[in-house]
Amino acid sequence: MSIRPPHNIHILLVDDDPAVRRSTRLILEHEGYNCREADGGVEALTLLDEGLSVDVIVTDLHMPIINGLNFLKALSYRVHGQGIRVILMSGNLNKDIERQLLEWGAFAIFEKPLDYPKFLMALSLALEDPQLNS
């Protein structure tokens, strides 16, 4: 199975911390991915509702207004959001929250600060799905 080159992959970064968004974006762009930023779940859902097409969403768990779990739930009810792999990151996780995130479709969950080699491996695995490579 072939994976599209990174420059053809579009990632939406969702985090209310601009420094985290920027550092993650710079690493992903260095790897060749195209990135778009949103400062929270509301902006991300608006972008998707307006037709933004992405292959993967990387989002923080703890954000104001719409946290990562509620973002996953809202995403699952949107036609444009269904089937998009979501990778979550958080500085404060527990087993109950992790279980809920996985039940609602999280592809992978990472503690902050990110272990970037493991994160990039999970991203690569998320992109191996045949539906995402059509």
Write the CA distances from 58 to 2, 29, 133, integer angstroms. Answer: 22, 14, 18
Q: In this predicted structure, what is the pLDDT of residue 77?
A: 82
Average pLDDT (113-126) is 94
CA atoms within 13 A on the CB side of 4: 18
In sequence order, the β-bridge partners of residue 19 are none
Q: How confident is the model at residue 131 (pLDDT cuts 50, 70, 90)?
A: low
Q: Write out pLDDT tens, residues 53-91.
A: 999 999 999 999 999 999 999 998 875 666 899 999 998
Q: In this predicted structure, what is the pLDDT of residue 129?
A: 56
Query: What is the CATH code for 6-127?
Result: 3.40.50.2300
Q: Write out pLDDT tens, residues 24-44.
A: 999 999 999 999 999 999 999
For the whole model, what pTM was predicted? 0.90
